[in-house]
Structure 1
Amino acid sequence: MRLNKPISLVTKDFSFFHSLLKSCVHGDNSSSPITIFRDLLRSSLTPNHFTMSILLQASTASVDSLKLVQTHITKSGIDRFIYVKTSLLDIYLKMGFVKTARKLFDEMPERDTVAWNALICGYSRNGYEFDAWKLFIVMVQQGFSPSATTLVNLLPFCGQCGFVSHGKSVHGIATKSGLELDSHVKNALISFYSKCAELDSAEVLFTEMEDRSTVSWNTMIGAYSQSALQEEAFAVFRDMFEKRVEISPVTVINLLSGRVSHESLHCLVVKTGMVNDNSVITSLICAYSRCGYLDSAERLYASGAQDSIVGLTSIVSSYAEKGDIDVVVAYFSKMRQLCMRVDAVALVEILHGCTNSSHIDIGMSFHAYAIKSGLCTQTLVANGLMTMYSKFDDVETVLFLFEQLQETPLISWNSVISGCVQSGKASVAFEVFRQMKLISGPEPDAITIASLLAGCSQLCCLNLGRKLHGYILRNNFENENFVCTALIDMYAKCGNSELAEDVFKTIKAPCTATWNSMISGFSLSGLQSRALSCYLEMRKQGSKPDKITFLGVLSACAHGGLVDEGNICFREMVKVFGISPSLQHYALMVGLLGRACLYTEALTLIWKMDIKPDSAVWGALLSACTVNREIELGEYVAKKMFMLDYRNGGLYVLMSNLYATEEMWDDVVRVRKMMKDNGYDGYLGVSQTE
């Protein structure tokens, strides 16, 4: 029987220690690399440059051990070997010590291409992309050739920053050096061109590729998805499927980000066995949530093996968008119970769900969480809080939060300006804007100007609006549709429909919001027939009307007494465009029919409503009864309104006016008494009649 020699009797030469160190690199040895190195020194062997190179690779887990190795390298003079110092430099970069790595690089008496490439790639990996680009220029100027890895690390920076000329220069160098044939470089180039909205160039590169890997196909699908070209993305995927190229989780994620049908992709995920991939399931949850299929999203989340902060955030965001704050709070509690750290993005999405003053206590609780977690110091969260408080009409808190910001980028100025306007404090918004200009703050952008135009509409300040119009023209903001829409809205609300129409005519392709502003502008100016003509022209040009469009159209019909036109438009809204009428739409129609003395039609419409009529709907009919002196029906409607909201001051005003028109003074007194008993003792507007 053959016995193994005891370890002490084994000849410990370089190959033995090198094997042990290599096993540490691959994670096959639990021993410390430093311990092995010390054993090597005790064995009277003198480590050579090859030993130190392996030791460096094995010592990445500990900064202290790395410094110890560096000291020995320096003392022994092994640092004269370029590749040893390059290995040391590369390891420091992988551990995030960029300054230390740069110092080592600067101290190198000679540098080769590998050293340059290592530093450039390390800079790029650690978020110093612009410094990496400057190093790359110096490297090329000094005659060194970049590697494929270098170019792959530089191109994402060019794409993210929109540096098209920089990226094209990299492409030129890749072509000249033959690196363009490298599949990794070609994939990076495709991704770069897609991010810079140059899909034609990306398509050419993809078509030229002879050996397309799964990564290549995924890159092209991702390029189309990022540009919201769903059909093109799916066409590439279909071609990929037909060529039997392996489909990876990235393929599915890219398709889902491009809004390709999530139901069919879900089936594919099940068939290909990707149901255990957490990133794929999270993407599917986000897709279902985004499309409003929250039941499916929640079931999918519950079936997942892991709890995902991204998936939960997506579900919470969808409920917040719907305004279902109770469910949002329940999910937030669940996230806290699971010890998930709610990040800035998740918290801002939650804050968006606090939409009215009834949510103020909940909103303040989230504010408290933001303070406790330290998230309130982040600009994104501070802006979200300012937006929330502006919805509560709490301008003082908005201004307080703004004053607490250490840095005030343009997005924060825009948040406080638009917040003040939304709260009905346009004069405060203009004061904030004046401060912004006074301290030489950031230059206003299109969003700033649109918010200020809304403020002009609120104040009916035409002169200020004209000044802003001049600023828009000087700074070429007239190409922004939403700025022109705000400008049209401002002129219309300030009583100048002609100027509003002049602006409208300058827009080559008006969007739905722009058409809506023009329709409501004509309606406000008493030009009902022109409002209807504008609506017909909108449909003729292929723009699809929305709920706001029909609010403008029905308002025009109501003010002009255009009953037939109103009925036609209301039917079109429901049957042609499939839009469910809101309470505002019903109130306008009921008012239109009531003022035309079509009480039976008005009541029939109310009884057929899919939603419960509120005081605004009944109030529209009561107002019509007052105008037409319809006492009996008016009393019936008033009772309905009283049952809905007995504290509604408008109810008492309308009833008092109705009785006053018929000189029923005892009833006027009775209504006044009821109003006082319910906490309203203001002027009703009937004393002169009396």
Structure 2
Amino acid sequence: MNLASSVGRSLKHNNLSFFHFLLKSQLESGNPSSGLASFRQLLRSEAKPNDLTFSLVIKSIASSASFSSNPLGAKTGANQIQTHLVKLGIDRFVYLGTALLDLCMKLGCIDHARKLFDCMPDRDAVSWNALICGYSRNGFDFAALEMFAEMLREGFHPSSTTLVGLVPSCGRHELLFQGRSVHGFGVKAGLDLESQVQNTVTSMYAKSGDLASAKLLFEEMEERSVVSWNTMIGAYGHNGSFNEAMIVFTRMIKQSVEVNSVTIITLLSANANPQVIHCHAFKTRLLKDQSVITSLICAYAKHGSTNSAELLYKSSPQKNLVSLTAIISSYAEAGNMHMVIECFIRMQQLDMKLDSVAMISILNGISDSNLGHAFHCYGLKNGLSIHTLVANGLITMYSKLDDLEAAFSLFAELQEKHLTSWNSVISGCVQAGRGNEALQFFDQMKASGQDPDSITIACLLTACSQLGCLKLGKKFHNYIVKNTFEVEDFLGTALIDMYTKCGSIVQAERVFSTLRHQPCRAMWNTMISGYSWYGFEHEALHCYSKMLEQGLEPDRITFLGVLAACTHGGLVHEGKKYFRVMTEQFCIAPDLQHYACMVGLLGRAGLFDEALLCIEEMDIEPDSAVWGALLAACCLHHKVRVGEYLAKKMFLLDQGNGGLYVLMSNLYAAVERWDDVARVRELMREMGGDGCSGVSQIE
């Protein structure tokens, strides 16, 4: 039945009760249409609305589909209702003021809701709950806590609803103390025994990083509902304890607790194997739920199983933007821009438009300037470029494409330069090897009053590494200590790398040894590479052994550092052993850099036959670096004929490589063939180099 037409018929007979009946029916059916238009029609009649009328209309606005699709219209309606409440003199009803306050909070009108609260002649505990919950829901955590304290000072007694609304505000590490205090209050008031409070407090401890307290609360629960199990699975997942999340899920199944769609979605967000969860969802008939299908598609895409994500997406009756965005992101991350374009065309055919999340995913995968310009134009046309995150994505994209002028231009056009924007342009300069400009932008950033975060400092430390600025690097280290930055994986790696590249291996060791947590693989790799650069091959190999003892699996960068250490130290036997370990034990296919290390190691030891055999057995075509490693060994052992043969190989591959001419000049000089030295230097000058462009710098 159409509500507006029914209201029209009922108003002819001045039947206000029938209007109430219609609104109640639609609210109970769970599918209300907006009652605002009907309310306006009611006002034009002779019927006089009462407090129940306004209560039902407010509920109708808050529950209707237009609430989320047209928030501006809902705000206008809320203002009109408030005007009529005052006009009719029924704004004194506490429950009406509370309902209107709650609606304003849901609309995000925080200041207006607070004014409503302050103007209420009478308040009850429900009014306080609406205000506290509204602040918490909108991210005003400190305001929610302040209102809770004010509520207690004014003599109101909080209920379990108060705690359920307030506790999520304490789900941050810095508010853990306040969260424990609120929990303590709940225990003292006897409110902690209710299941909803227990679940909320468990979630709060998990989000603030106190997993031990979350686990203790969960285990002490006398009755665990499916919400309790889901909360604990989510707690482990939120903290990266994915195995524990699966153990809780297994216990849940054994205790015959019925799994629901939230369980499946929570498990997938906890990084569970999507294939296993997909099977369980199929068995429990939860694949009928569109949110489950969307979560599975996103999980498959995140794990790189894009084909599975595509198959599930095609079989889904509903095609939504979230699923397609996840698939596009997966293709973009893998660098498969052909499929990104195909998905983009499919999106256009379904009359979907890219949102900022999908746009950023695509920008991250672009490596072609023409494609970059095309999506930049799309962003301008559809108004996406005004979003700060998209603008930052464009800056990063142009930096990767080595078009820093475009990145600088975009940055200059930003009306508001947030920290992420500064980080994007500074990071872009660093990636392009333009450390001086990164430091100049940092000076501008300080002048604008913006404080750096750990990402900014890490980028600036990399700039110091590029420039060899030890003194400036130390200043940034002091800034980290002074501002109590947590030296986490990203920042710690940048700090160690800066010290090793700026000539202070002792300081790098000191940073590494004083870490408060176990070093990540990137930190171990940086230390191994640092030791190898300094010729401390035994320390590098010891570092590799300690890394294995910590249970970390080496990657190709680890072995690059290890093989470089063996090359510098002339450890032929060890080098061969680690090369076998890399390929056979860890199944890592060597790249050109690994082969260059091995060829250099064998060549320096005078094992030219083995070095040539190594090159012949390569699965990839050798480049100038591989041949150059053997040519350098020829200089060391005065192998002129072999050297000339290798020089021809290198010339065909890269005739503009200045290192080729330097090595040949050195080889001829070693055997006192001065005419050939002069000839090579003349060739070098003709190619535009003089062999004197290198710069050594020590600070």
TM-score (norm 1): 0.84
CA distance in 1, matches of 2:542, 2:173: 45
Identity %: 52
RMSD (CA atoms): 3.8
- Letter aligned with residue 265 of structure 2: I
> Which of 511, 517, 523 is matched with 2:532 structurally?
523
What corresponds to 1:307 in structure 2? 319
Distance in 2 between residues matched to 1:470 and 1:563, nearest whole Å: 42
> For residue 447 of structure 1, what is the aligned residue in structure 2?
455
Offset of residue 570 of structure 1: 0.8
Structure 1 residue aligned with 2:620? 611
The partner residue of 2:610 within 601, 621, 624 is: 601
Quote the offset at 1:194 in angstroms. 0.7
Q: SS of 2:157's equivalent?
A: coil
- Quote the residue 2:68 is aligned against: none
Rounded to whole Å, the distance in 1 between the matches of 2:355 and 2:642 is 56
Other-structure match for 2:469: 461
Q: 2:129–2:165: 8 Å Cα contact kept in structure 1?
A: no
> 1:278 aligned to 2:290?
yes
Does residue 377 of structure 1 match 2:386?
yes
Q: State whether residues 173 and 209 of structure 2, in contact with CA within 8 Å, keep that contact through their aligned partners in structure 1.
A: no
Letter aligned with residue 245 of structure 1: V
Q: Does 1:435 align with 2:444?
A: yes
CA distance, structure 1, for counterparts of residue 440 and residue 559 of structure 2: 35
2:429 matched residue in structure 1: 420
**1:154-208 Cα deviation digits (max 9, x unpaired):** 2222215742233233323433443323322221111111101122222232223
| 2:658 and 2:684 in contact (8 A); partners too | no
Deviations 1:373-392 (A, max 9, x none): 33333332333333333333
In the alignment, is residue 201 of structure 1 matched against residue 209 of structure 2? no
Q: What does the per-residue CA deviation read over 1:35-80, in whole Å, with 9 as the maximum and x for residues that have no partner?
A: 88469846xxx76544554455456667677667666654554444
- Counterpart residue type for residue 114 of structure 1: V
Residue in 2 that maps onto 1:150: 162
Post-superposition offset of 1:610: 3.2
Contact kept? 1:652, 1:672, Cα under 8 Å? no
Q: Secondary structure at the match of 1:352?
A: helix
Q: 1:571 is aligned with what amino acid?
A: R
Q: Name the CA shift for 1:659/1:668 in 2 (closer, same or farther; >3 Å).
A: farther
In 2, the alpha carbon distance for the partners of 1:124 and 1:469 equals: 37
Change (3 A) 1:466 1:139: closer
Map 1:181-192 to 2 at 5 A: 181-192=193-204
1:298/1:315 contact within 8 Å kept:
yes
Query: What is the 5 A alignment of 1:119-138?
Result: 119-126=131-138, 128-138=140-150
Q: Distance in 2 between matches of 1:458 and 1:85?
A: 62
Please name the residue that 2:505 is paired with: 497
Q: CA distance change for structure 1 residues 205 and 278 in 2, over 3 Å: closer, same or farther?
A: same
Distance 2:28 2:322 in 1: 33
Give the letter aligned to residue 19 of structure 1: F
Instruction: Mark the CA change 1:321 to 1:216 in structure 2 (over 3 Å): closer, same or farther.
Output: same
Between the aligned partners of 2:639 and 2:190, the Cα distance in structure 1 is 89
Distance 2:238 2:364 in 1: 25
Q: Distance in 1 between matches of 2:147 and 2:421?
A: 35
SS in 2 for 1:187: helix
Q: Deviations over 1:261-304 (max 9, x none)?
A: 22211211221122233322232233323333232233223322
Offset from partner CA, 1:344-399 (integer Å, 9 cap, x none): 333333222245xxx23333333333333333333323333333333334443443
What residue in structure 1 maps to residue 395 of structure 2? 386
Per the alignment, residue 306 of structure 2 pairs with 294
**Structure 1's 136 and 322: CA in aligned 2 closer, same or farther, altered over 3 A?**
same
Contact 1:17/1:40, CA 8 A, preserved across alignment:
no
CA contact (8 A) 2:179 2:204 kept: yes
Q: Per-residue deviation at 1:647?
A: 6.2
Query: Which moves more between the two structures, 203-212 or 477-486?
Result: 477-486
**Cα offset for 1:229?**
1.3
Q: 1:182-261 counterparts in 2 under 5 A?
A: 182-261=194-273
Between stretches 378-387 and 197-206, larger displacement belongs to 378-387
Cα distance, 1:88 vs structure 2: 4.3
1:19 aligns to what?
21
Unaligned runs of 5+ in 2: 1-8, 65-72, 693-699
| CA distance in structure 2 between the aligned counterparts of 1:338 and 1:447, rounded to whole angstroms | 39
Which secondary structure does the structure 1 equivalent of 2:192 belong to? helix
Q: Given residue 500 of structure 2, which amino acid in structure 1 is its aligned partner?
A: A
Q: Which moved more, 1:543-552 or 1:215-224?
A: 543-552
**Using a 3 Å threshold, how does the CA distance of structure 1 residues 18 and 525 change in structure 2: closer, same or farther?**
closer
Instruction: Indicate conservation of the 8 Å contact 1:288/1:297, yes or no.
Output: yes
Letter in structure 1 aligned against 2:264? V
Alignment partners' CA distance in 1, 2:405 and 2:40: 64
SS of the aligned residue for 1:298 comes to helix
SS of the residue corresponding to residue 365 of structure 2 reads coil
The one-letter amino acid of 2:592's match is L
CA pair 640-294 structure 1, distance change in 2 beyond 3 A: farther
Identify the residue that residue 3 of structure 1 maps to in structure 2.
none
Change beyond 3 A, Cα 1:303–1:55: closer
Q: What residue in structure 2 maps to residue 688 of structure 1? A: none
C-alpha separation in 1, matches of 2:511 and 2:51: 75
Residue 650 of structure 1: how far off its partner (Å) = 5.3
**1:106 Cα shift?**
3.4
Q: For 1:78-120, what per-residue CA distance to the aligned partner results, in whole angstroms no more than 9, with x for missing partners?
A: 4443334444444455555555544443333222223333343
Deviation digits for residues 492-512 of structure 1, max 9, x if unmatched? Answer: 323343444444443464433
Distance 1:489 1:401 in 2: 30
Equivalence for 1:547: 556
Aligned mates of 1:409, 1:222 — CA distance in 2: 31
Distance of 2:493 and 2:548 partners within structure 1:
18
Q: 1:192 to 1:641 in 2, by over 3 A?
A: same
1:113 has 2:125 as partner: yes
SS in 2 for 1:260: coil
Q: Secondary structure at the match of 1:200?
A: helix
> Looking at CA atoms only, which structure, 1 or 2, has the larger radius of gyration?
1
Q: Deviations over 1:584-629 (max 9, x none)?
A: 1012112222333433322332333333433333343344445545
Deviation of 1:25 after TM superposition, in Å, equals: 3.8
In 2: Cα distance, 1:29 partner to 1:461 partner: 66
2:151 aligned partner: 139
Distance 1:510 1:99, change over 3 A: closer
Contact 1:21/1:33 (8 A) holds in 2: no
Q: What are the superposed Cα offsets for residues 495-537 of structure 1, whole Å, 9 maximum, x if unpaired?
A: 3434444444434644333332232222222333443344344
Instruction: State whether residues 344 and 378 of structure 1, in contact with CA within 8 Å, keep that contact through their aligned partners in structure 2.
Output: yes
| Corresponding residue for residue 583 of structure 1 | 592
Deviation, 1:450, is 3.0
Deviates more, 1:413-422 or 1:470-479: 470-479
Q: Which runs of 5+ in 1 are unaligned?
A: 1-6, 686-690
Q: TM-score by structure 2 length?
A: 0.83
Q: Measure the CA separation in 2 of the matches of 1:103 and 1:472.
A: 42
Cα 1:210–1:646 change in 2 (3 A) is: same
Partner of 1:568: 577
Choose the corresponding residue for 2:376, options 364, 367, 385: 367
Cα distance in 2 for residues equivalent to 1:96 and 1:481: 37
TM-fit CA distance, 1:224: 0.9
Distance across 1 between alignment mates of 2:666 and 2:349? 57
Counterparts in 2 of 1:333 and 1:658: CA distance versus 1, 3 Å: farther
Distance 1:602 1:451 in 2: 39
After TM superposition, the structure 1 = structure 2 runs for residues 508-519 of structure 1, keeping only pairs within 5 Å, are: 509-519=518-528
